[in-house]
Amino acid sequence: MKPSGSLPVGVADLAATDVGPGVDRFAARLFYPCQRSWTLPCTWIPHINYARGYIGYVFKMVAKKDWKTELARSALISAAWALGGSRVLPVYYNAPVATPAAAPGPLPVLIFSHGLAGTRNAYSSICIEMASRGYLVMALEHSDGSASCARLPRRPTAAAAAAATSPASADCDVRPILSTSDGQEVGSKGRSSVADAVSNVGLPAAASAPAPAPSGGGSNWYFYCGLGDKPEQLRKTRHRVAEVAAAYLLLAQLNGGLLSGGGGGGSSGGGGRTAAIRELPAAVANSLRGRLDLERAAVAGHSYGGATAAAAAASLPYFKAAVSLDPWWDCFDDSWPVLNRWVNPTRPPLLVIGSDDWNTPNAKGMLKCGGVNQERVLAAAAAGGGGAVLVVPRGSTHTNFDDVMLLFGKSLSALLRLLNIRTSLEPRLAHRINMWCITHFLSKHLPPPPPSSPSSLSQQLSQPNNEDSKGEDAAGHRTGAAAAAEAEAAGSSSIPSPSPSPAAVAEATGAAARTTAAQHIQEGDIDSYRETVGEWLSILRVAPGRL
């Protein structure tokens, strides 16, 4: 689905080691306004192992294991690879970041956390849309074992040895492919997973891992290993929040010019600890220098990632806004700030876009999202944060937020019905509703807000629909990018803002130390959602921030 913003979008994969205490391996995908250039097609599934991961997750729910099941799994992996591997995204792979002349002003930052069985690619439609509007989006690929498939840089030698000899470590059901035996350590119980930034703001902390030594390049593949028991779930949530913190600090170092791409690692930059970049083109890394507005950083996510985003915003001083898409709230300990009173001094507001099926009581009167905790989160955001808005589109389901229904709903209709994955809200309409809510919220609450508001939902719905081709060839891709370039040349998109001080971000925590409060949610903010989304609303609530 083509984005509605005027800027061409670039994509680059990033891998790093030694990102911070407890985060020794890190992987993500960057989406950003880019310079137009020739590029190889970038497909939704870039490697067959992602197809193995998605289908493998589905078959985790199949109790019967026999040759027929294995045959069906192999056939579906081949079908998923053929379908996803031919779906070309409207992006330029590894293109440099757009120049200030093309995309004026520093770029606001959005860090995105995927849901259970998600990957860095699973929410490409949302990430591409935001990048086309001038945001730098970092889509994480979590290393806690919750991704259906994760491609992680090979563990640094010292950290691998420490994890292998730790008496607290235990193997998880993760199968490395074309990797060394250290892959079995992902998701192991008791392994350190909390950055100092997380433990310093009130979350329960585990012991930090020893600082890893430099090592060579290369990647390992890991697959979904389940949620585990409640203590293990809490450990995973802490690790996810630590990775969100690490993502911000990594972007701060890239923005300050402390890191180089192309596998060249990083420099110490005044004695501060820096990550070692294992994968990022040098042209992309260099073009990011001084281009990010770290004072306008937000965090978002879907399902487990939606809860991760709220937990990060509640505790970390980096973020001025948070977006939780159909969050799963039952992954916290009762003592965490996200459930009690947010402690982030910037007091960020929270947007929750829920689905109708997860916010409709079942026979026992319970909500799939975790209704009790949802009420606690909304109250905590109002008490210590900037307030909260809850929007639930009528007829929406949990699958109306990732790419599967949007990009492959027609092609996979029979399989989706078999898996009972369906929605009464048309996927493209759901995407436009979601994107209007997200862009409206961020343009209002990230200080200073962009000068242009998102177009009305009715205008977006009236746009010609150029979706649902099974795949797009290179010519189609170039046409889409050329159209975006024409809009850019007309000057239809710009997001000017004050440039952050390079000195303030030279150290990883410099920009985050500034605690200018975000704009709070007020009672009247509900009107714009009611007026624009009105006829598609099932639930609309506001919890105003307390000044």
Span 109-129, mean pLDDT?
A: 97
The pLDDT assigned to 94 comes to 94
pLDDT level of residue 469 (50, 70, 90 thresholds): very low
Task: Using the predicted structure, report yes or no on whether residue 14 has a pLDDT greater than 80.
Answer: yes
Burial class (CB within 10 angstroms; exposed 0-12, middle 13-18, buried 19+) of 263: middle
Q: Which residue has the higher pLDDT, 158 or 137?
A: 137
Question: 296 with 511: CB under 8 angstroms?
Answer: no
| Measured distance CA(428)–CA(405) in Å, rounded | 9
User: What beta strand segments (E) does 100-203 contain?
Assistant: 107-113, 136-140, 149-153
Burial class (CB within 10 angstroms; exposed 0-12, middle 13-18, buried 19+) of 488: buried
The pLDDT assigned to 267 comes to 44
Q: What is the pLDDT of residues 266-308, one digit of tens each?
A: 543 333 556 788 899 999 999 999 999 999 999 999 999 999 9
| Measured distance CA(260)–CA(252) in Å, rounded | 13
Task: Using the predicted structure, report yes or no on whether residue 200 has a pLDDT greater than 50.
Answer: no
Q: Which residue has the higher pLDDT, 149 or 467?
A: 149
The pLDDT assigned to 416 comes to 60
Question: Where do the domains of the chain lie?
Answer: 9-46+85-489+497-544
The pLDDT assigned to 401 comes to 95
One-letter amino acid for residue 481 of the chain: A
| Measured distance CA(278)–CA(280) in Å, rounded | 7
The overall average pLDDT reported for the chain is 78
pLDDT level of residue 451 (50, 70, 90 thresholds): low
**Would you state the structure tokens that stand for residue 91, as one six-digit string?**
């992006």
| Measured distance CA(94)–CA(308) in Å, rounded | 28
Q: What is the pLDDT of residues 496-526, one digit of tens each?
A: 232 333 333 344 444 444 456 678 899 999 9
Task: Using the predicted structure, report yes or no on whether residue 135 has a pLDDT greater than 70.
Answer: yes
Task: Determine the length of the chain.
Answer: 547
Task: Using the predicted structure, report yes or no on whether residue 188 has a pLDDT greater than 70.
Answer: no
Q: 9-46+85-489+497-544: which CATH topology?
A: Rossmann fold (3.40.50)
Neighbours of 69 (CB within 10 A): 13
